[in-house]
Amino acid sequence: MAEKNQLDQIKESLEGYVGRRVQLTAKRGRKKRIIRRGVIEKTYPSIFVIKLDQPDDETRERRLTFSYTDILTRAVEVVVFKSTQQGA
């Protein structure tokens, strides 16, 4: 039951940051991590969506989705930038 409360807290926290810039670090294997920057676009009951920043040479928009459990298990770390920071 405590895990359910933690997932609810994570979801509520991310809902408050919709539209804010974030840096996302995701573990993708034993020693591999990806680091991306973007904006929290939308939250759903089980997942949240990050719209990634576009490199200059790419024309299509990219999005990543993660579950709140990914944050709970520390497979994904999300750092929310202050509104004055540009994510440099």
pLDDT tens by residue, 23-32:
999 998 888 9
pTM score, whole prediction: 0.81
d(CA 27, CA 20): 22
**d(C-alpha 69, C-alpha 79), whole Å:** 16
Distance CA 80, CA 32 (A): 22
> pLDDT tens digit string along 42-80?
999 999 999 999 876 777 889 999 999 999 999 999 999
Cβ atoms of residues 43 and 14 within 8 Å: yes
Contact between residue 68 and residue 45 where contact means Cβ atoms under 8 Å apart: no
pLDDT of 84 > 60? The answer is no
